[in-house]
Structure 1
Amino acid sequence: MTTPSALERPADVPFVRKLGARLVLIPAVVLSLLPPRRIRRVLNVLRRGAAPATATQAKNARDAVCAVSLRCAGPRGCLPRSLGAALLCRLGGTWPTWCTGARVVPPFTAHAWIEADGHPIDEGVPDDYFTRLMAVTPVGRHPR
């Protein structure tokens, strides 16, 4: 027996932001196919010259990516979703902290997310639920 589920996708995303999200979606998916060290190398280059993203800017970018892609809105879309949100923030001149890591409590589950002001954006879990294994912070800032 299966349990039906529905994905909640943000509905109030402005058209211009959706257009930007569509623009970064293919590069985000391509990036998600690369090995972690290459992802980090590309993101380190892209973050240059960007101001740190606020929580609102990061949430707006994440919402836009989820609004245009069912894959990114789904439970297994964390890597392209986080990459897309980071790239969309970069289009606006900002950069969130992009993170990958794992759940702190068993069973092991890998995850990718974005943070702003030291807090995960729209993950629905406490701040210490995941532990970072890799982070790409805005230039001039270091991971906590």
Structure 2
Amino acid sequence: MSTEMTMPGRGAPRGPRVRAAIAVALLVARLRPDRLRRLLTFLSRGARPAPYATALAAYESVVTASRRCAGWYGCLPRSVAIALLCRTSGTWPTWLAGVRAAPPFAPHAWVEAENRLVGERAEPHEYRPLITVPPQQAATTAPAGEADTHAR
């Protein structure tokens, strides 16, 4: 497994929206895992699943704009920034945090879209997720006449 990051294209946008997502991600990445999961779950509510192209464009923008997020140890703020940037367009990738399944064993955070890793050189079987935050699409209402029997 290579330890290099995929380098972004030169044309990746680096505007204020990208910088804001990175700034928030750097703060949010300091939260305890349970609080981070709750916050990201809240932020993912009502979002459509992010298309792979959207998530990849967000990845490229984030790693182009931030050396810290582009680095080997920047996976947590990078993954959060990607998710936040996608959220500004009404979508959400699946955000995951876990460990590498083979040496070197280490914590890692990443995003997936359309069941594909975004910006990672590794294969999906090389990671073991411990926390997963998928898009939380708004629930549809039940057709007339079908009452919710659990709401009592």
* TM-score, structure 1 normalization: 0.87
1:122 counterpart = 2:119: yes
8 Å CA contact 2:5–2:71 kept in 1: the answer is no
Distance in 2 separating the partners of 1:58 and 1:6: 16
Deviation at 1:120, TM superposition (A): 1.0
**Amino acid in the other structure paired with 2:26:** V
Q: Are 1:97 and 1:135, in contact at CA under 8 Å, matched by a contact in 2?
A: yes
Q: Following TM superposition, by how much is the alpha carbon of 1:64 offset from its aligned partner in structure 2, in angstroms?
A: 0.6
SS at match of 1:134: strand
Unpaired runs of 5+ in structure 1? Answer: none
Contact 2:83 2:95 in 1 (8 A): yes
Please give the residue correspondences for 1:1-144 in structure 2 after superposition, counting only pairs within 5 Å. 8-15=7-14, 18-140=15-137
Q: Is the 8 A contact 1:51 1:93 kept in 2?
A: yes
C-alpha distance in 2 between matches for 1:13 and 1:136:
26
Q: Cα distance, 1:6 vs. partner?
A: 10
Describe the SS at the equivalent of 2:10. coil
* 8 A contact 1:102–1:131 mirrored in 2: yes
* TM-score, structure 2 normalization: 0.82
Alpha-carbon distance, 1:8 to partner: 3.8
Question: Is the CA contact (8 Å cut-off) linking 1:10 and 1:66 kept in structure 2?
Answer: no
Distance 1:6 1:130 in 2: 16
Helix, strand or coil at the partner of 2:125 = coil
Read off the aligned partner of 1:14 and give its amino acid letter: P
Question: RCO higher in 1 or 2 (8 Å CA, sep ≥ 6)?
Answer: 2
Question: Which runs of no fewer than 5 residues in structure 2 stay unpaired?
Answer: 138-152
Question: Cα distance 1:118–1:7, how it changes in 2: closer, same or farther (>3 A)?
Answer: closer
- Structure 1 moving runs of 4+ over 4 Å: none
Shift of 1:12: 1.1
